[in-house]
Amino acid sequence: MPDLGPIVQRVLMTTDTAGGVWDYSLELAAGLRRRGVRTILAIMGNPILKVRCIEAKAIPDLQLEFGEFKLEWMANPEEDVACASEWLLKLARQYEPDLVHLNSYAFASLPWHKPCVLVAHSCILSWWNAVKKTDIPDDFDWYRGIVASGLQLADGVVFPTNSLRNQMERIYGPIQNSEVILNGKDPFRYKPGRKKRFIFSAGRLWDEAKNVAALEHVSTHLRWPTLIAGDCKKPDGSGNAPQRITYLGFLAPSRMAEFYAEASIFVSPASYEPFGLAVLEAALSGCALVLGNIPTFHELWEDAALFVDPDDLQGLKHALTTLTEDQRKLESLARKARERAFRYSGEAMSGKYYDTYSELCMDYTLLSESQDRSRHVGPELQVEF
């Protein structure tokens, strides 16, 4: 076969600013750019913060497009999803990407006329099973339908961990053309500093799965102070800041890196976490990890963390107290976490995505050419697929 040159040169990627998908999207876009791929980032959800816009504009040739549409998991999103669909198809006609990368489920059914990769970052049903531990109400039937449809219609489906894929297949059944590509971060953006005696946590604090309430409960019984950073407001504007922990608010990435560098312990007692980029950033910064005893964290961190059942308040207190009182154990655990964190690099992630993109684009091109040839042969020679 002759050399066709670069197969993937432009990617249209959807994203949002409500959580870790934004950080993931920028990391991937930067890695793809180093491989000669230009990304058009279609940003939805709430208005983008200035600091996040600055992050994005630091990536060469990254094209930003803004659409303030509700996300599919928000309340009453149907009309916004329909409007967002028209907007995305317009962007596809304008930029003519080689591939469409979706970080949400609702748009996989659109007539892209290009290969479509769907990345399953999380899911309300799997979240509900892990956090509420009850059957999800019928109110979510529309959401269930678009997730099931997206998983089946996308040309390829990517999961950030095997744990999430297993959870999703238990809910939606076997998912064809799926693979796991672990999330990653640039390890050189994070490094240990002079460690201080405090415990750090971060994330989307309004999310019940982050289990901030458990951390608040035990923090008053610990010798070291607990600091926490992140957005405490839900997309609808409701939500309150933690009361019994030192709350730092939403911090720019450079400030986050400073707190990671100084913190001795990073704690995430989550009951649901598809990957956990904050944990990775903390590990790269030399923090000892205390994590919720859930499949995702075991898959990623194995013997490089202490694991505590999310409902076990005494266990959480004991794990944190142990590390504050045993310097040798603290340093050993921090070293193991940092060593393991280097497995999850942004370069490895973007390389695997590039390979997946290229394979899907090649398959799509060959299939299109074969179908085109089939239209020019007689009925008795019709090619079947």
* Interval 94-114: pLDDT, tens: 999 999 999 999 999 999 999
Residue 385 confidence (pLDDT) above 60:
no
One domain for residues 65 and 177: yes
Domains identified in the chain, total number = 2
One domain for residues 306 and 351: no
One domain for residues 217 and 326: yes
One domain for residues 203 and 268: yes
One domain for residues 349 and 327: no
Residue 367's pLDDT is 74
Structural domain for 116, as ranges: 10-184+345-374
Residue 383 within a domain: no
Reported pTM: 0.92
As a residue count, the chain comes to 385
Contacts 24+ apart (CB under 8 A), 330-336: 330/264, 330/265, 330/288, 331/288, 333/288, 333/289, 333/304, 333/305, 333/306, 334/192, 334/264, 334/286, 334/287, 334/288, 335/286, 336/303, 336/304
131 burial class (0-12, 13-18, 19+ CB within 10 angstroms)? middle
One domain for residues 117 and 71: yes
Percent over 70 (pLDDT), the chain: 94
Distance between CA atoms of residues 62 and 41, nearest Å: 7
- Segment 280-304 shows an average pLDDT of 98
Residue 380 within a domain: no
Distance of CA 165 to the CA centre of its chain: 13
Residue 2 within a domain: no
Query: Structure tokens of 48?
Result: 């983008």
The enclosing domain of 222 has a CATH number of 3.40.50.2000
One domain for residues 288 and 265: yes
Query: Structure tokens of 77?
Result: 């999103």
One domain for residues 324 and 199: yes
Collapsing DSSP states into helix, strand and coil, what is residue 246? strand
Residue 240's pLDDT is 84
One domain for residues 49 and 198: no
One domain for residues 133 and 159: yes
